[in-house]
Structure 1
Amino acid sequence: MNNINILWVDDEIDLLKPHILFLEKKNYKVTTCQSGMEALEIIDEKPFDIVFLDENMPGLTGLETLSEIKEKKANLPIVMITKSEEEYIMEEAIGSKIADYLIKPVNPNQILLSLKKNLDLSRLVSEKTTSDYQQEFRKIAMDMAMVNSFEGWAEMYQRLIYWEIQLEDIEDIGMTEILESQKIEANQQFGKFIEKNYPKWFDGDKGPIMSHTLFKEKIIPELGDQPTILIVIDNLRYDQWKVFEPIISTYFKKQKEISYYSILPTATQYARNAIFSGLMPSDMNKLFPQFWKNDTDEGGKNLHEADFLNTQFKRLGLRDLKWEYHKITNLKSGKKLVDNFKSLKNNDLSVIVYNFVDMLSHSKTEMEVVKELASNDKAYRSLTLSWFKNSPLLEMIQQAQLGGFKLLITTDHGTINVKTPTKVIGDRDTSLNLRYKTGRSLTYEDRDVMAVKDPKAVHLPSINMSSSFIFAKDDKFLAYPNNFNHYVSYYKNTYQHGGISLEEMIIPFVVMSPK
Structure 2
Amino acid sequence: MSVNILWADDEIDLLRPHVLFLEEKGYAVDTVNNGLDAVEQAAKQDYDIIFLDENMPGLSGLETLERIKDAHPMVPVVMITKSEEEHIMEEAIGGKISDYLIKPVNPNQILLSLKKNLETRRLVSEKTTSSYQREFRQLGMRLGDRLNSGDWMQLYDELVKWELQLSGSEDQGMAEILRAQWNEANDLFSRFVAEHYVDWVNGRGDDIPLQSHLLFREKVAPLIKEDGAPLYLVLIDNLRLDQWRTLEPILGQYFRVEEQGLFYSILPTATQYARNAIFAGMLPSEIEKRFPGKWISEDEEGSKNAHEEEFLLGQLQRLGKKVKASYHKITNLNAGRKLSERLDDLSGNA
Asked whether the two chains share a fold, i.e. TM above 0.5, the reply is yes
Assess, with a 3 A threshold, how the Cα gap between structure 1 residues 317 and 173 changes in structure 2: closer, same or farther: same
SS in 2 for 1:162: helix
Residue 312 of structure 2 is aligned with which of 301, 309, 312? 309
Structure 2: which 5+ residue stretches go unaligned? none
Q: Deviations over 1:221-275 (max 9, x none)?
A: 1223631111111122221111111111111110100100111111112111111
Residue 282 of structure 1 is aligned with which of 285, 289, 299? 285
Deviation of 1:287 after TM superposition, in Å, equals 2.0
Counterpart of 1:96, as a letter, is: G
Task: Give the paired residue count.
Answer: 346
Deviation of 1:115 after TM superposition, in Å, equals 0.7
> Match of 2:346?
344
Counterpart of 2:203, as a letter, is: D
Q: How does 1:86-485 map to 2 (within 5 A)?
A: 86-201=85-200, 202-203=202-203, 206-224=207-225, 226-318=229-321, 320-347=322-349
Moved more, 57-66 or 279-288: 279-288
Counterpart of 1:15, as a letter, is: L
> Match of 2:10?
11
Deviation of 1:44 after TM superposition, in Å, equals 2.1
1:26 aligns with 2:28: no
Moved over 4 A (4+): none
Q: Which is bigger in relative contact order (C-alpha 8 A, separation at least 6)?
A: 1
Deviation of 1:200 after TM superposition, in Å, equals 1.4
CA distance in 2: counterparts of 1:14 and 1:105, whole angstroms: 14
SS in 2 for 1:11: coil
Counterpart of 1:23, as a letter, is: L
> Match of 1:470?
none
CA distance in 2: counterparts of 1:248 and 1:164, whole angstroms: 21
Answer whether contact 1:147 1:153 (CA < 8 A) is retained.
no
Moved more, 94-103 or 275-284: 275-284
SS in 2 for 1:6: strand
Counterpart of 1:254, as a letter, is: V
Higher strand share: 1
Structure 1: which 5+ residue stretches go unaligned? 351-515
Assess, with a 3 A threshold, how the Cα gap between structure 1 residues 21 and 332 changes in structure 2: closer, same or farther: closer
CA distance in 1: counterparts of 2:34 and 2:79, whole angstroms: 14
CA distance in 2: counterparts of 1:217 and 1:277, whole angstroms: 13
CA distance in 1: counterparts of 2:161 and 2:333, whole angstroms: 31
Moved more, 91-100 or 167-176: 167-176
Counterpart of 1:257, as a letter, is: Q
Answer whether contact 1:210 1:261 (CA < 8 A) is retained.
yes
CA RMSD, 1 decimal: 1.6
CA distance in 2: counterparts of 1:151 and 1:100, whole angstroms: 43
Answer whether contact 2:149 2:207 (CA < 8 A) is retained.
no
Deviation of 1:95 after TM superposition, in Å, equals 1.0
TM-score, normalisation: structure 1: 0.65
Deviation of 1:203 after TM superposition, in Å, equals 2.2
CA distance in 2: counterparts of 1:299 and 1:120, whole angstroms: 55
Answer whether contact 1:211 1:272 (CA < 8 A) is retained.
yes
Query: Sequence identity of aligned pairs in percent?
Result: 55
Deviation of 1:295 after TM superposition, in Å, equals 2.2
Deviation of 1:192 after TM superposition, in Å, equals 0.8
Answer whether contact 1:200 1:206 (CA < 8 A) is retained.
no
Moved more, 95-104 or 286-295: 286-295
Deviation of 1:147 after TM superposition, in Å, equals 4.6
CA distance in 2: counterparts of 1:80 and 1:331, whole angstroms: 41
Answer whether contact 2:148 2:207 (CA < 8 A) is retained.
no
CA distance in 2: counterparts of 1:330 and 1:153, whole angstroms: 34
Counterpart of 2:221, as a letter, is: I
Counterpart of 1:270, as a letter, is: Y
CA distance in 1: counterparts of 2:306 and 2:3, whole angstroms: 62
Answer whether contact 2:39 2:68 (CA < 8 A) is retained.
yes
Higher helix share: 2
Moved more, 175-184 or 138-147: 138-147
CA distance in 1: counterparts of 2:246 and 2:18, whole angstroms: 41
Q: Deviations over 1:44-94 (max 9, x none)?
A: 222221111111111111001111111221111111000000011111111
CA distance in 1: counterparts of 2:112 and 2:55, whole angstroms: 23
CA distance in 1: counterparts of 2:58 and 2:333, whole angstroms: 53
> Match of 2:66?
67
Counterpart of 1:232, as a letter, is: L
Q: Deviations over 1:164-202 (max 9, x none)?
A: 111111232211111111111100000110111111113
SS in 1 for 2:329: strand
Counterpart of 1:292, as a letter, is: W
CA distance in 1: counterparts of 2:40 and 2:284, whole angstroms: 73
CA distance in 1: counterparts of 2:335 and 2:69, whole angstroms: 41
